[in-house]
Amino acid sequence: MAFDGVIDEHFLARYRALLDAEDTAFDELEHAYEDGDREHFSLDLDAWHRAVSRRLEYLQRTGVELNGSTSTLQQLV
């Protein structure tokens, strides 16, 4: 991970909020899967993808590079 910026309280608070949103979206996805609710599963999968994308975009905007290159959701999922 290459990072030229400063990790401060603001960075960590924002990143924690993005992680929490991603975790919440994944929990909803998991519940839909366990319930066999295909319609909500598809919607929750899209919501989870958006949450992951927001987190990765934030890292990219702040100068964090994953594995020396920018990552996309498609590479991670």
Predicted pLDDT at 4: 58
Predicted pLDDT at 77: 45
On whether the CB atoms of residues 14 and 58 are closer than 8 A, the answer is yes
CA distances to 8, 16, 22, 33, 51 from 59, in Å? 14, 12, 14, 29, 13
Q: What's the domain range around 14?
A: 9-76
Confidence of residue 13 (pLDDT cuts 50, 70, 90): very high
Model's pTM, two decimal places?
A: 0.76
pLDDT tens digits, one per residue of 29-75: 999 999 999 999 999 999 999 999 999 999 999 888 777 554 444 45
Extract the tokens encoding 56.
């990765």
**For the chain, what is the domain count?**
1
- Residue 32 within any structural domain of the chain: yes
Residue type, 58: Y
- Residue 18 within any structural domain of the chain: yes
Buried b / exposed e along 9-22 (16+ C-beta atoms within 10 A): eebeeebeebeebb
